[in-house]
Amino acid sequence: MRKLKNIGLIAHDACKKDMVEWVTANAGQLARHSLTCTGTTGRLVQEVFDQKFPDMKVKVHRLKSGPLGGDQQMGALIASEQLDILVFLTDPMTMQPHDVDVKALIRLSTIANIVVAYTRSTADFIISSDLFDDEYEAVCRNHEEYIQRIIE
């Protein structure tokens, strides 16, 4: 993992306020990295930088809305090793119409062994880690043996 991180940000509707507050509180650190968000989350994150921190000149990369394919686009970034950290503030109390996409993201994140936060507390721990702004060599499990057993 490079020093400059590619960070994905997603928030379910009930968690968008938390994401805005978290981005606002951590804008200085986040601005040094590349940010990619799903639809509405991306619009809200861009508004934080444009309205509260215009001197930072942050450009947020926006994907489609989660239910309209944004979760799958984020998954593609994970699968193609283009994402280092995922902050996905989830709402466990509301059934999501795209729940299978959410589960796929969790699975891909685990297989790729990327850094993931599903809660604001975990996101706080990650961004305050000494490793956040440094290079990091993740130890990844080789899944090729598993795949070969399935194929045979």
- Alpha-carbon gap, residue 120 to 118, rounded angstroms: 7
Can you count the helices (H) and strands (E) in the chain?
A: 7, 5
Query: Is-catalytic flag, 71?
Result: yes
Helix H or strand E segment including 16? helix 16-25
- Per the CB < 8 A criterion, the answer to whether 61 and 82 are in contact is no
Q: How many CB atoms lie within 10 A of CB 144?
A: 8
Distance (Å, whole) CA 53 – CA 28: 9
Which of these is catalytic: 13, 50, 55, 71? 71
Contact 96, 12 (CB under 8 A): yes
Task: Give the residue numbers marked as catalytic.
Answer: 71
